[in-house]
Amino acid sequence: MSLATLNDVLIEGRAQKYAVGAYDFMTPTMMLGILDAAEETKTPVILQFPDSPRGMADLDVFAPAMVAAAKKASVPVVVHLDHGKSVDACKRCLEAGFSSIMIDSSTLPFDENVRITREVVALCKPRGIPVEAELGHVGQGRDYDPDNYQYTDPKEAAEFVAATGIDALAVAIGNAHGVYKGKPRINYPVLEEIVKAVSIPLVLHGGSGIPDEDFKKIIKMGVSKINIFTELSQEATARLRKIENDKLDIFSATEAIREGFKARTLEKIKLFETKSI
């Protein structure tokens, strides 16, 4: 399989009502666990590199490994920038060979979000690289409060997609990043109106901790990319803690992390009903 783009895996997902998991990672071992699960199930997968100070400092090391792993895989693998915070970050990942870019200016006013997103689209589209952007704001789970939440406005969503030419829209529908304070509460009326307003694939960030029944419903409604990291790291941590002290070394720790990321990715592939190639 060749390096895949976001459109290669999401357009069919939206049409056939399944989702493709997008998994962040911080080490090659974590990445290999994710790929192990995709290879075992023969399903497409999205590898996500987060725009963080530590991550971007290591981009020149990680990018070649990610691209090489994607090209070597027997399944479609998207190499994606997650939450690009600036045009410069998007440029760096584009030059590094990423096959998909997210620009996240969702904390800025609508017009500024449009302007920056259009700039990134103008950089990427001539190269055939799809762009994801966010409207509304997906905050942190530790601050989660469904009663004071910046939902995506369906009318603005239609205007935003038309004005920017993006390929995927990350929506705020009651989801949040990291561990939720309280129980997640998906706003289905908002999601329903967004689905009616835009035809491009929708993205759910902060998937860790959302109940399975909610996943099944939002996927059938039109969400075709779901981001997961916290649950993978929690599983790896749990496996590390089970290693007996006299058997804990760099080799057993590495195996536990890889197997933890693989195990939880396998669960999500099944839950999201990702279609095999």
pLDDT of amino acid 137: 80
In a domain, residue 82? The reply is yes
Displacement of CA 31 from its chain's centroid (Å): 14
Going by C-alpha positions, the residue among 133, 112, 111, 109 that lies closest to residue 121 is 133
Domain that holds residue 203: 3-271
C-alpha–C-alpha distance, residues 219 and 13, integer Å: 9
Residues lower than pLDDT 70 in the chain: 1
Q: Is 82 a catalytic residue?
A: yes
24, 51, 82, 104: which is the annotated catalytic residue? 82
**Looking at the 3D structure of the chain, how many domains does it have?**
1
CB 44 within 8 A of CB 52: no
In a domain, residue 277? The reply is no
In a domain, residue 157? The reply is yes
Going by C-alpha positions, the residue among 85, 13, 19 that lies closest to residue 49 is 85
In a domain, residue 276? The reply is no
In a domain, residue 97? The reply is yes
pLDDT of amino acid 196: 97
CATH number at 215 reads: 3.20.20.70
pLDDT of amino acid 1: 60
In a domain, residue 99? The reply is yes
